[in-house]
Chains A and B, each alone.
Chain A
Amino acid sequence: MEPLFTVGEPIQDVKAPAGPLQDQWEARRFGAKLINPANRRKLSVIIVGTGLAGSSAAATLGEAGYHVKSFCYQDSPRRAHSIAAQGGINAAKNYRNDGDSIRRLFYDTVKGGDYRSRESNVYRLAEVSSAIIDQCVAQGVPFARDYGGLLDTRSFGGVQVSRTFYARGQTGQQLLLGAYQALERQVSAGTVEVHTRHEMLELIVIDGKARGVVVRDLVDGTLETHMADAVVLASGGYGNVYHLSTNAMGCNTSATWRAHRKGALFANPCFTQIHPTCIPVSGEHQSKLTLMSESLRNDGRIWVPVKAGDTRAPGDIPKEERDYYLERQYPAFGNLVPRDVASRAAKNQCDAGRGVGPGGRGVYLDLADAIVRLGRDAIEEKYGNLLDMYQKITDEDPYRVPMRIYPAVHYTMGGLWVDYDLESSIPGLFVIGEANYSDHGANRLGASALMQGLADGYFILPNTINDYLAKNPADAADSSHPEAVKALETVHERLNRFLSINGNRTVDSFHKELGALVWEYCGMERNAEGLEHAVGLIRALKDEFWTNVKVTGTNEELNQTLERAGRVADFFELAELMCIDALHRAESCGSHFRTESQTDDGEALRNDDAFAYVAAWEFTGEGSPPRLRKENLEYHNVELAQRSYK
């Protein structure tokens, strides 16, 4: 049998300056070449995606004077899925005087990521975190305030300081609207053009540099070629590979996967975060899962009945017959253990038959004690909208009956490999936000995704992309360039292929089957045998897809089935790479739990000697095994330790 992958030359980041961690970012900004403001308007930048990263980058680059073209598949930039983030955004402000600092945020993030992220990038993230809060407040983001008018904070899973700023349960919405408004301000200033209902289907690479994209106008099917001096992908994560996830229905990997096929390395695809507090699946028809912010774990206590198969109503189960298993197993962090730990603990309880609700896949998140302690009004003030949403979906009153929760796919730490400048392995292709792999290692801490998206978009990319643009002066490449024409034709052929199969199965049925498969074998627990099996199954399903999928209609119209077909086709290829990545990483770390690698009491067991690296995968052609390019991770400022939240 052909090997699943080959190993190539290692790679490394060459952009982070040498020297102490705390001086690197300043040194890099000083070292980066600048561009005269008058010359900036001659330079154009394409930005794909309008979430926190994409919108903030487009607004900031527009303010700087570049000509920005922004694309999103939704009908407005404001709809990007960052809007659904609930809990909050971290920043090392130390307003609480509780011992927080840049170094502590850096340390928590590296530790939370189970020592699989790059020190330099993470330190910079912690460094700019404060400025994000300043920026957002100036834009009018209505963060929660206390009665003195000061900003309120709360604590979040995996840390012991209170550094999470929030706007009730809609922090992502408020931050995104801030970035969206800044973006629209630039639209009216004429520096940014926004193309809504346009989906990127191909990257154009000319002479080894990213120079443009092919997009499809989702309203009438027109294929357009857009050229620029640099391309930025801010297209989010790939959690929808699991079909059921907390991602929006349209979230997809197509932009990043197309770039990967053009030469961008894809790093750590198997690092996918399973969020512990989601509403459990209610039936076959389910199209997506809904997250309940983990901030609920601040006040809610998680428990299951002690006795397996206990079908009594939760109120009828006396305290002594309840197992508050997180508090029992992890006394130091209790209900606030990191997400991966909480998720797997819930899975273990359900596997042992102590799960609650239909199908036994659920555990209780109980606010009763907090309601007694703080009063119903205080709980409503903090979590009102979340609890309303829970009630709408489940028809149960969370103020009276404990909520039922179960883990669900939520965020993907993996993504396109980038260096310190957030530039991918294709020169001129920058990747920001969830789309890149950079800062969260093998597990992301709560309230850090918003921080990273905005850090990348507001502060990092605008200070690094100028270096590339200054060193690669614009040339006259336009859409008639042979590479651009070829890219356009490729897209055309692919779309026609979908339409010509005319098989018997819907796109969604393939997506569902693929998702179930990846969830089963590459979900909360993985092992070598299952993963090998999964690769075979995925390949077979992919073959069936390409011969038996049914896509109705034509390209020259608004055709949602055709849109989905393209996304699912890319998910097939990504799913295979995820399984290969999970298979090769024969250690447990963060979200990636290999049953073969655990401690005696069932905790994840890392293997730093063999796996302290980023696995960056190179595309080597259709049907040809991917090539592994390792970036070794060196830790000079934190000591590698087995994570312990006990």
Chain B
Amino acid sequence: MNITVRIWRQHDQAAAGRMVSYKVDGISPDMSFLEMLDVLNDQLTAAGDDPVAFDHDCREGICGMCSLVINGIAHGPEALTTTCQLYMRHFDDGDTIDIEPWRSESFPILRDLIVDRSAMDRIIQAGGYISAPTGSAPDAAATLVPKKNADRAFDAAVCIGCGACIAACPNGSGMLFTGAKANHLGVLPQGQPERHERALAMVNQHDAEGFGGCTQIGECTAVCPVGIPLDVISFLNADVLSALPRKTD
């Protein structure tokens, strides 16, 4: 396969960026999308140019590091797939593919396709945890967890924190990410004591980071590589709203 890629090139956060076209030849359909970029980078290095910087690490769809908007869609055209698990067999010979970084005012571009997603860490810092100091835990079997709740918690807990939801949201909202954590911890018995405080603190941090609000469009869940359901946002909304009117405790 021979393809053309148009890639966002930007030297650093302060620099201006632009789309640059490259031809990449001899691509095998069994290559992953990132291996195609590896080939391009070999070409660029051989020519003495700076290779394209992009984030990637595990290349098996779990670490959440890879983060490319491909033809306008976060993680590309395949549903339930991270960029690193996207294979070139889903493209055609002669295609032109546009590749851009996640775009959100809260994700400054560091170089080319790499953005700074530390805002998401700060949302977790604000309350995305259960306070369980090491050594304080009762026996694991002491509290039964209905399978339904354990499964529901798991479905929300598989969020890989890649930020595709934010990159895809027309409002630049991070509510799917935030809701997933609130939902994961909020349906488990261990997460009940801090449940409402957690929801409030995370939503406040979400807003303070400059993410937009959720208008329930559902674009986030459509691009989510692990299929976090949209209802986690409603779960978070309900927790926040029921926590608002309480008296100061």
Contacts A83-B62, A219-B110 known; A459 to B134 CB distance under 8 Å? Answer: yes
Q: Binary interface profile of B, 173-217, with partner A (CB < 8 Å = 1, else 0)?
A: 000000000001100101100000000000000000000000000
B16 within 8 A of A: no
Q: How many residues of A contact B (CB 8 A)?
A: 82
Segment at the A interface, from B146-154, B228-236, B239-247: B146-154
Contacts of A80 in B (CB 8 A): 63
Nearest residue in A to B52 (C-beta to C-beta)? A560
Nearest residue in A to B205 (C-beta to C-beta)? A188
> Judging by beta carbons under 8 Å apart, are B42 and A508 in contact?
yes
A3 within 8 A of B: no
> Judging by beta carbons under 8 Å apart, are B116 and A75 in contact?
yes
A208 within 8 A of B: no
> Judging by beta carbons under 8 Å apart, are A63 and B134 in contact?
yes
> Judging by beta carbons under 8 Å apart, are A389 and B85 in contact?
yes
Contacts of B38 in A (CB 8 A): 285, 287, 508
A168 to chain B, nearest CB (A): 6
B161 within 8 A of A: yes
> Judging by beta carbons under 8 Å apart, are B132 and A395 in contact?
no
> Judging by beta carbons under 8 Å apart, are A561 and B138 in contact?
no
B113 to chain A, nearest CB (A): 11
A146 within 8 A of B: yes
> Judging by beta carbons under 8 Å apart, are B131 and A185 in contact?
yes
Contacts of B161 in A (CB 8 A): 76, 78-79
Nearest residue in A to B82 (C-beta to C-beta)? A392
The 8 Å CB contact of A148, one of B139, B140, B144, B188, is B144
> Judging by beta carbons under 8 Å apart, are B63 and A184 in contact?
no
Contacts of A552 in B (CB 8 A): 45, 48-51
> Judging by beta carbons under 8 Å apart, are B63 and A248 in contact?
yes
Q: Which of A369-415 contact B (CB under 8 A)?
A: 388-389, 392-393, 395
A290 within 8 A of B: yes
> Judging by beta carbons under 8 Å apart, are B45 and A181 in contact?
no
> Judging by beta carbons under 8 Å apart, are A76 and B117 in contact?
yes
The 8 Å CB contact of A140, one of B64, B78, B188, is B188
A64 to chain B, nearest CB (A): 8
A144 within 8 A of B: yes
Nearest residue in A to B30 (C-beta to C-beta)? A282
Contacts A76-B161, A84-B60, A151-B140 known; A285 to B153 CB distance under 8 Å? Answer: no
Q: How far is the CA of A75 from the CA of B101 in the complex (A)?
A: 15
Q: Which of B8-45 contact A (CB under 8 A)?
A: 11-12, 28, 30-32, 34-35, 38-39, 42, 45
Q: Which of A243-301 contact B (CB under 8 A)?
A: 246, 248-250, 282-283, 285-288, 290-291
Q: Which of B39-93 contact A (CB under 8 A)?
A: 39, 42, 45-46, 48-51, 53, 55-65, 78, 80-81, 85, 87, 89
> Judging by beta carbons under 8 Å apart, are A59 and B134 in contact?
yes
Nearest residue in B to A133 (C-beta to C-beta)? B140
> Judging by beta carbons under 8 Å apart, are A389 and B31 in contact?
no
> Judging by beta carbons under 8 Å apart, are A138 and B59 in contact?
no
> Judging by beta carbons under 8 Å apart, are A392 and B190 in contact?
no
Residues in chain B within 8 A of chain A (CB atoms)? 11-12, 28, 30-32, 34-35, 38-39, 42, 45-46, 48-51, 53, 55-65, 78, 80-81, 85, 87, 89, 110-111, 114, 116-118, 120-121, 124-126, 128-141, 143-147, 150-151, 153-154, 157-158, 160-161, 184-185, 188, 190-191
- 10 nearest interchain CB pairs? A149-B144, A181-B129, A138-B137, A138-B132, A134-B137, A142-B154, A558-B111, A142-B153, A145-B150, A137-B140
